Amino acid sequence: MTQHNKPSDIAREALRQLALRKLPPTPLNYQECYNEIAGIINPSVFPEAHLRQIALALNAHSPEQKIQLDRLDLAIGRGSWQGIETALVAFCKLQAASQDTAVAPAAALTEVPSEANQFLAKLAQMIESMLPALESDDAGFSSQVKGLLQTLRDPTVDLHRAQADLTNFSYRLTYAAEEQAEIKHTLLKLLHLIIENISKLTLADSWLDGQIFALLNAVNPPLTLRRLDEVEQRIREVMRQQEAAKGRSLQAQEEMRLMLSAFIERLSQMNDSSAVFQEKLETSARQIENVHSIEDLAPLLSDVIGATRAMADETASSREQLHNLQEKVLATEAEIAKLHLELQNASTSARHDPLTNVLNRKGLDESLVREIATMRRKDTALSLALLDIDNFKKLNDELGHETGDEALIHLVTVVRDNLRPQDTLARYGGEEFVILMPETLLNDAVTAMTRLQRELTKNFFLAGKERILITFSAGVAQLALAESSADAIKRADQAMYLAKRAGKNRVMAS
C-alpha cells in the first residue's frame, strides 16, 4: 500500500479503501481504514481529534455536501457515532451522485408521466401530514420542506431533481425525528422527576400513593394514546372514590371533636357540682357546731343526706355519660382507621388487580366497551384470548399459595414483555386472563398466542432454587360485528376447555 503522510491524502485513501473493500461507510469502518493507513492504533476512547482531521480533509462541492459536513462537525462535538455515520453516509451518496452526473448527465424531462405525477402528489400529501408530529422551529428545514412540496407538485418536474431533493430531505428528516425523540425522552424524564418529587412531598397523604404509582407507570415508554386514556380513566375513578372516602373521614373527625367537647364540658359540670357539694358540707358543719338540741340537728342531717344522695346520683349519671362517650370515641376511631384503609386501597382496587397490577374485571369491561366501539366505528377486526394456567391447583397445593401468586406475576411479566402496546391484558379471575387484540384477525391472534406459549417455555419460573415450567391453554375468538363481549368470551372459554381436553399447553380457535 502506498505510504501517505498528509491527513488529506490519508483521508482520500481511506475513502478509496472503503470502496475497494466494499465496506459500509460507517464512522467505525472509516476510522479503522484511516488508522490503518496512518499507522495509528485504534483508540479506546472517542477519537474526536482524529475525526476533526478527517472532517477538515473532506471538501464540499455543493451546498448539500456543506450541510452534511456541518452535521458531521456537530456530531463529532457531541460524540455521537450515529450522527457521524448518518452525515458520512449522506456525504458519500452526494459525492457519488455528483460523479455519476459528471460522467453521464441526465437530460431533464419536460413532461412526467401522469402515474409519476400522482405518486409524487401523494408523497407530498404524506409529507404534509407528518410535519405536525415533528413540530420543528428550524426556519431552514421549513424552507426546505416548502421547496420540496413545490417540486413534487410540479407537473413538469425533473425526476432527478425530485430524487435529489427527497434525498436531502430524508437526511434532514432523520435529524428532526431524532431531535423530537430526544425531546420526548427528556420531557418524560422531567415528568417522572416531578411526579417522584410530589410523592416525596406528600408523605402524610398515603392515599395519594395509588395515583402516584399510576402516573409513574404511565410515563414509562412506550407511550401510547390508548395507555394514557386508560390511566386517565383509572385516576378519575380513584379520585371519585377518594373524594367520597375522605368526606366520610372528615365527618368522623368532626364527630370526634364534638364528643371531646362534650366530654370536657361534662367534666366541668362535675367539678362545679363537686364544689357546690363541698360548700354545702362546710356550711352544714358550721351550723352543726351551733346546734344545742336534737330537734335542731335533724333538719341539718336531712339536708346533708339529700345533698350527698344528689351528688351520688349526679356522679353515677356522669359516669354513665362518660362511659357512653368513651364507647362512641372508640367506635369513631375504628371508623376513621377503616376509612383511611379504604383510601389507601382505593387507588389499586378501582380498575386493577392488586396482585398482578393488570386490569381487573371492571377494567376489562370498560376496555371491551371502548374496543368494541372502535371496531364498529372503523370496521376493523377485534380478537380476544382467554388464558388458563395449566395445573395451577397442583402448584398451589404442593408449593403453597404464595408461590402460586408469584407464578401469576411471572406469567403476567412474560405476557407483557411480548404484547403490542395496543393490546390489553386483564385478570379474568383466579388463574384466568383475557387478552384483547385490536385490529387482529382470528388466525393472527392464534399465531400470537402460540408465539406467547413458546416465549413462556423459554422463561422458567423459579420457586426458590427449583425451576418450574409454566404453561397455559388458550381459547381465541374474533368478535362478530353485532356480537356482545359476553358471548365472545363464552366462545373463547369453550375453545379453551377444548384445548385443556386436547392435552393442555395448546391454543384453540372458536
Residue 172 confidence (pLDDT) above 50: yes
Euclidean distance between CA atoms 55 and 7, whole angstroms = 10
**What pLDDT does residue 110 have?**
44
**What pLDDT does residue 388 have?**
94
Q: Which carries the bigger pLDDT value, residue 380 or residue 120? A: 380
Please give the order of strands across the beta sheet that includes 432-438.
Answer: 424-429, 432-438, 382-389, 472-478, 507-509
CATH number, domain of 465, equals: 3.30.70.270
DSSP 8-state code for residue 357? -
Domain carrying residue 42 = 7-103
Euclidean distance between CA atoms 101 and 479, whole angstroms = 57
Neighbouring CB atoms inside 10 A of 433's CB total 26
Judge whether 195 lies within some domain: no
As given in the structure block, the three cell numbers for residue 305 are: 343526706
Looking up cell 426546505, which residue turns up?
Answer: 144
Stretch 440-451: mean pLDDT:
94
Alpha helices in 202-224 (DSSP H): 209-218
On whether both 400 and 484 belong to a single domain, the answer is yes
Label the pairing between strands 424-429 and 432-438.
antiparallel
Euclidean distance between CA atoms 13 and 87, whole angstroms = 19
Residue 106 confidence (pLDDT) above 70: no
SS3 351: coil
Phi then psi for 440, rounded to 5 degrees?
-135, 125
Last residue of a domain, one of 316, 350, 384: 350
Per the CB < 8 A criterion, the answer to whether 394 and 507 are in contact is no
Euclidean distance between CA atoms 124 and 148, whole angstroms = 8
Looking up cell 370526634, which residue turns up?
Answer: 256
Choose the most confident range, by mean pLDDT, from 65-74, 341-350, 356-365.
356-365
On whether both 373 and 291 belong to a single domain, the answer is no
Query: Half-sphere exposure of 73 toward its Cβ, with a 13 Å CA cutoff?
Result: 12
Euclidean distance between CA atoms 89 and 82, whole angstroms = 11
Look at the chain and report how many structural domains it folds into. Answer: 4
CATH number, domain of 311, equals: 1.10.287
For residue 150, give Cα distances in angstroms to 127, 128, 228, 428: 12, 12, 38, 55
On whether both 321 and 368 belong to a single domain, the answer is no
On whether both 374 and 490 belong to a single domain, the answer is yes
On whether both 32 and 169 belong to a single domain, the answer is no
Euclidean distance between CA atoms 436 and 401, whole angstroms = 28
Residue 104 confidence (pLDDT) above 50: no
Last residue of a domain, one of 52, 73, 103: 103
On whether both 174 and 313 belong to a single domain, the answer is no
**What pLDDT does residue 204 have?**
47
Q: Which carries the bigger pLDDT value, residue 409 or residue 19? A: 409
Looking up cell 413462556, which residue turns up?
Answer: 456
Judge whether 485 lies within some domain: yes
Closest CA relative to residue 370, chosen from 217, 239, 491, 233: 233
Stretch 87-96: mean pLDDT:
81
Instruction: Go through the chain and tell me how many residues it has.
Output: 510
**What pLDDT does residue 98 have?**
66
Last residue of a domain, one of 151, 182, 213: 182
Q: Which carries the bigger pLDDT value, residue 392 or residue 308? A: 392
DSSP 8-state code for residue 290? T
The identity of residue 267, as a single letter, is L
Residue 389 confidence (pLDDT) above 90: yes
Per the CB < 8 A criterion, the answer to whether 380 and 477 are in contact is no
On whether both 337 and 206 belong to a single domain, the answer is yes
Judge whether 190 lies within some domain: no
Euclidean distance between CA atoms 48 and 186, whole angstroms = 26
pLDDT in tens, 252-263: 667 666 666 666
On whether both 504 and 372 belong to a single domain, the answer is yes
Judge whether 196 lies within some domain: no
On whether both 122 and 165 belong to a single domain, the answer is yes
Judge whether 58 lies within some domain: yes
Of the pLDDT bands very low, low, confident and very high (cuts 50, 70, 90), residue 111 is very low
Of the pLDDT bands very low, low, confident and very high (cuts 50, 70, 90), residue 471 is very high
Of the pLDDT bands very low, low, confident and very high (cuts 50, 70, 90), residue 414 is very high
The beta-strand segments (E) located in 348-422 are 382-389
Write 70-77 long-range contacts (CB < 8 A, 24+): 71/171, 71/175, 76/48, 76/51, 76/52, 77/48
Stretch 391-399: mean pLDDT:
89
On whether both 139 and 239 belong to a single domain, the answer is no
Per the CB < 8 A criterion, the answer to whether 245 and 343 are in contact is yes
Residue 449 confidence (pLDDT) above 80: yes
Q: Is the dihedral of CA 447, 451, 457, 463 positive or negative?
A: negative
Per the CB < 8 A criterion, the answer to whether 58 and 92 are in contact is no
Judge whether 193 lies within some domain: no
The identity of residue 14, as a single letter, is A
Per the CB < 8 A criterion, the answer to whether 84 and 76 are in contact is yes
Judge whether 297 lies within some domain: yes
**What pLDDT does residue 459 have?**
87
On whether both 215 and 293 belong to a single domain, the answer is yes
Judge whether 192 lies within some domain: no
3-state helix, strand, coil in the chain (%, to 5): 70, 10, 20
Would you list the DSSP string of 489-500? HHHHHHHHHHHH
**What pLDDT does residue 342 have?**
63
**What pLDDT does residue 409 have?**
92
On whether both 135 and 232 belong to a single domain, the answer is no
Per the CB < 8 A criterion, the answer to whether 474 and 508 are in contact is yes
